[in-house]
Chains A and B, each alone.
Chain A
Amino acid sequence: MTDLSQQGLPAGPVIKGKLSRDDIIMRGGMIVIALYLIVSMVMPLYAMLSKSFSTYHVDLSQYEFQQSDKDGVFDGTSLSGAQLNSQIPVYAPKDLNTGADGRLSVTKWFPDFSFRSPVKYRLRNVSPNGRFLVSSTLYTGTDWVELDSNKFRRVQLRPIKTTGLGNFVNYFSTPALFQSIKNSLWISVVSTVITVTLAFWFAYALNRSCIRYKGLFRLVAMAPILVPSLLPGIALVYLFGNQGMIKELLFGASIYGPIGIIIGSVFFTFPHAFLIISTALAISDARLYEAATSLRTSSWRTFWTVTIPGARYGLISAAFVVFNLVITDFGLPKVIGGQFNVLAVDIYKQVIGQQNFEMGAVVSVVLVIPAILAFAIDRFVQSKQVALLSARSVPFQPQPDEKRDRALFAYCSLVAVFIIGLLAVCQFAALVKFWPYDLSLSLTNYQFDKMDGGGWGSYFNSIQMALIVAVIGTGVVFFGAYLVEKSNGFKIGRGLFQMVAMLPMAIPGMVLGLAYIFFFNNPANPLNMLYGTMAILVICTVTHFYTVSHLTAVTALKQMDREFESVSASLKQPTMKLFSRVTVPVCLPSVLDISIYLFVNAMTTVSAVVFLYSPKTTLASIAVLNMDDAGDIAPAAAMGMMIFYTNAAARIIHLVISKGVLTRTQAWRFR
């Protein structure tokens, strides 16, 4: 400010403008959506973080006991819990480190205890730090509590919560858990290298050669997006499992483990990598190639000096996206990982298998670190990508080259066979009566109601949830993006909103789901009533997929003339009228894109919702997981393919609607 006053600006407060009704509505809306994001993400994550730093320990020296004789007379000697435990070691030191729900009973320290004996007992906390339960009554005072035998057997010592790194120390000193970090990183790196290489050549063939059936190849490449990540795992079990069709091809190696995870990961991450690299290759500037040709550069050298540098941001971005998808994926390693532990599955095992929520939280924190790093680098790289485009660029037109085109066509066909093959195996498995003993075809495996997992009900639950997510999610995301892009002033609020909106992408689904348990399943939380309902599944899914939808909306909105709002205000028209009459219709293609993105992902997501479904709200993708877990692999494949067909149908409907809507509302686009 001193700098300005030196230039003559009179001292005094800067003028604050009066807010118009529109300003108030827009800021209010923004605050509501920001609150939604805070409640549905920031607070659960905070709950999880604080959980990971919470250790629970029972300090036996905090308790004192007295025992009477048979007549109920106390002789006044009192022993601490620690002394009792050293006389009769009931609890080993590690038993004293428990979870939030830890309870230790005390009767074993008294060998002649019987709940019918007339002996009475007294106990107390030495300091207010001690806590014990008698039945369900909690005692924290230091007064003696006298109990008869029958009551005394209901005494349970409760742990004290301390905050610290204890859980992390515990985690890193458990070799089995620590090994998972290495496993996760290893399979993620290998999958990333393979997927990016495969996707690059596929995208190269589609953008830089004159092969036939490009449209078909593009369609096939995108197919894996329509299925849950664990579906390729099921196909791989059928192909290479213990009774696999072609398990000989593995020469005795087991598909259950890193090999299966990597092949499956390549399958389900392929479309993501392909899309990013394809975009990068599509924007290349033909003038560079003309220059290279006129300088008589060899095509090999041109490839390394023009093609690769031009696509480098796409390649880097694709690599980090794939890395992130693989390291955070839960469904695939769950199905085909066997004894090979990875972080995402560890979270599940700690929480669902061992009910060790604190350790689940610790693994989550560990998993978030590489995920956030990969996300941050990807964002940084993508922000660089934009600068490559220039209005003067001339689009590259590939020239036919028979030898190259034939090789690339063969390559694309191989990739397509791999993708279609895995899906076909699933469909085949679903229709075979009892592999490998009865190969006749039947629909027995579609009788989901006879299996674990919620039956057909879960399929319809999934469709219901996906529809709600698509409708509500699109509305919230697009409106939120509009408010943050087009409102005036309020810079700090808008900056914060943008940051919070970017966060969900960095948070793995498993972590979000677990965080929801900590936050929403807390009886003290007034939102606790949401737990176990369809609503929490919708909220979680919308939040989980918020970022990509938000970015799509922001991109569309940035292309709108930024003076529309000014014009509307000068014409004394409410901004919401502009929003509904102009903004939404003009952005309709993007709005529809967001809704189909949300629908497809809501159908296939497993990781976040696996912690949150209830018997009434089972989902199709979870049913695949649970049926597979229960050994009903064929029905799992059948359900997985149902998801595929549903998503494919949704995409077709989306295409039809988009076309219809485009011709009706986007007439202005065509002169």
Chain B
Amino acid sequence: MQTNILSQDAAGEAVPSPKLYLSIKNLWKAFGTFLALKDISLDIHEGEFICFLGPSGCGKTTLLRAIAGLDLQSQGSMTQDGQDVSTLPPSERDFGIVFQSYALFPNLTIEKNIAFGLENIGRGKAEIDARVQELLALVGLPDQGKKYPAQLSGGQQQRIALARAIATNPGLLLLDEPLSALDAKVRVHLRHEIKELQRKLGVTTIMVTHDQEEALAMADRIVVMNHGIIEQVGSPTQVYRHPSSLFVADFIGEMNQFPARSAGEDLIDLGGTIVKGEKHGLPKGAPILAAIRPEDIIPHGMGARSPGAEDIIITPENAVDVEVREMEFLGSFWRCRLHHDMFGTEDLIADFSINAVRRLGLEEGGTMNIELDRKRLLGFNLEGCHND
């Protein structure tokens, strides 16, 4: 299902050429009696930016290290750019790598660090110097070449590590949690820069991260992993809007979850109220978990239906009057805890824009009418809970 996704991507991003670059087939990795990777198969196309996303221990770093040849897989094969690389040592594979620790050589200047991989490959000194300056300019640190790594900030060091990794124009760039050791602000800034640089160079890139926001912002495609298996592969919008499993739904973004029953292939019985959701395909009466994101709850007004709401087509089965129990101001939006018997004892969490709150005059203790966006209300097989 993954092969056609790129061209369908609605986000309007540059569509990478569909040429297959890295193909992983039935990869297994055992550490003693523990299986870190279970039958992983994955195709990556030239120029793509891929993120391996998952909680710690899910196998994402193991998979990256297997791709680099640093920790060889127990079974399975891998082809890179048409060549079988399954058993090659790292030095015979074509990749550049950036680690969380940067791993800059502390006793070499920034220039020498970047030049490290340019030596011994038949380049003249002048040519190396020119390339180093070009790379320094590329990562935005043109005057720092004579300094030592310890004299730079964490973000600067990470950029140098990146420059060193791409110095030799590798076909594949591997990033192992490159941003997680940095401050939040630097992180946001740098992830934009890395993405920019990657687009400019067109180098196929795989980044490991446990930060879903980072993955959503940077990746062309996200590979969500859990317990050594791939849960879902898809564009950021796909994995966010159409999570294929409860794990993915839960791990990426926030999700209200309520035990419910199927009332037909796209109908959900929530505590006796039948609502319409996305097609879940489960037989009527089957126990399911209904899930909806806080931002997919559409506010319609305080008390009775607000005057401006008439023009919105409201399906009667998805609109409901709820009690506003708590409101929390979170800067750019309000987080509200809403109560209705159909949700049981749990509160429904909804995020409303400041505008909406002001316009509708919402306040704690009042009642309001909301609509559960029928395209965003998902039903999951309860079996999916065991995935977690």
- Residues of A in contact with B (beta carbons under 8 Å apart): 3-4, 7-10, 12, 14-23, 488, 561, 563-564, 566-574, 577, 581-582, 585-586, 665-669, 671
Contact = CB atoms under 8 A, between A and B. Distances in A.
Contact of B74 (A9, A488, A569, A570): A9
B68 A577 contact: no
A9 B30 contact: yes
Contact of B150 (A12, A563, A671): A671
A12 B101 contact: no
Interface string B87-125: 111111101110101010111100000001101110000
Contacts of A577: 119-120
A586 B106 contact: yes
Contacts of A570: 68, 90-91, 93, 95-97, 117, 165, 170
Counting chain B CB atoms within 10 Å of each CB, the highest count among A8, A19, A572 belongs to: A572
Nearest to B35: A7
A21 B89 CA distance: 9
Given A7-B38, A16-B87, A570-B68, A666 B107 contact: yes
B54 interface: no
Given A4-B33, A23-B89, A566 B97 contact: yes
Contacts of A8: 35, 38-39
B106 A4 contact: no
A17 B168 contact: no
Interface string B113-146: 0001101110000000000000000000000000
Nearest to B172: A570
Contacts of A669: 106, 150
Contact of A585 (B39, B72, B107, B150): B107
Given A577-B120, A586-B106, A668-B148, A4 B30 contact: yes
B240 interface: no
Given A9-B75, A10-B28, A585-B107, A571 B87 contact: no
Contact of B107 (A12, A572, A582): A582
Interface of B: 26, 28, 30, 33, 35, 38-39, 68-70, 72-76, 86-93, 95-97, 99, 101, 103, 105-108, 116-117, 119-121, 148-151, 164-165, 167-168, 170
A8 B29 CA distance: 11
Given A566-B68, A567-B164, 12 more contacts: A3-B33, A8-B38, A9-B28, A9-B38, A16-B87, A20-B92, A568-B116, A570-B90, A586-B106, A668-B148, A668-B150, A671-B150
Contact of B168 (A9, A20, A21, A572): A572
9 contacts: A8-B35, A10-B26, A12-B75, A20-B92, A570-B91, A574-B120, A582-B105, A582-B107, A668-B107
Given A4-B33, A4-B35, A561-B103, A571 B89 contact: no
A567 B100 CA distance: 12
A617 to B, nearest CB: 40
A585 to B, nearest CB: 5
For the complex of A and B, the 5 pairs showing the least CB-CB separation, nearest first, are A571-B117, A20-B89, A668-B148, A563-B103, A569-B90
A18 B87 CA distance: 6
Contacts of A665: 107
B150 A10 contact: no
Nearest to A24: B89
Contacts of B33: 3-4
B85 to A, nearest CB: 10
Contacts of B167: 571
A561 B106 CA distance: 10
A15 B75 contact: yes
